[in-house]
Amino acid sequence: MAPIELPTDLTPELAPLYWLLGRWRGQGRLGLGEQDDPIFTQDVTFRDTGLEFVEYRAETWLADEAGAPLRPLTVETGFWSLDRARTDADVGPGLAPADLVPAYRSAADVDQLAQPDGAFAITATITHPGSISELYYGKIKGPQLQLATDAVMRGEHAAEYPGASRMFGLVNSQLFWRWDLRAADGEMVPHASAILDRTASAEEVSAKRTA
């Protein structure tokens, strides 16, 4: 894959995640992804918020064989970031402002966080309907990302959800992803997979974009 040219105003800590940024649309299948498994369509946005986090939003619809949406399946929201020690430059809790001086001022500074194999540790929080919130940890190396749940918070009426893993990869400019769920016996079971095409660039969906 050709090197990605980063925009000059990109939040530095998002450099390893840059290939995800933008809006994506496509379809996939539930389960093993076989011909008889249900089809869904999906819109996904990864957005630079101006902070050290990527904002994630995915809207998914059950679809017919032609890919036409039939009814909503779910909406997921969350925040993804590099996993590193907290500094005075980090926001929160709540509305507590961060120090004006960023922890990392350039992509070169961020490279210091790389592991010996070139991967970066990553964390993600994802919340979806049914009173379920997930905390993921994993790694990102080039255009490949792997996540596994460290914790799952469930509300009183939430369905059983022992855990999950997710994989994302950029192949020939398309975003491939797979989502596996942990069964009660601890085995990982295929839940869904999809292939998405980019429909808007990182700059077009950025929260820092001006009219």
pTM over 0.85? The answer is: yes
Q: How confident is the model at residue 2 (pLDDT cuts 50, 70, 90)?
A: very low
Percent of the chain with pLDDT over 70: 94
Question: Which tens digits make up the pLDDT trace of 158-203?
Answer: 988 999 999 999 999 999 999 999 998 889 999 999 999 999 999 9
Q: Which sequence spans correspond to the domains of the chain?
A: 12-205
Q: How confident is the model at residue 211 (pLDDT cuts 50, 70, 90)?
A: very low
Q: What is the pLDDT of residue 35?
A: 80
Query: What tokens does 153 get?
Result: 């918070």
Report the C-alpha gap between 161 and 158 in whole angstroms: 8
Q: What is the pLDDT of residue 4?
A: 53
Q: Which CATH class is domain 12-205?
A: mainly beta
Whole-Å CA distances, 41 to 24, 31, 79, 135, 202 = 11, 14, 22, 25, 21
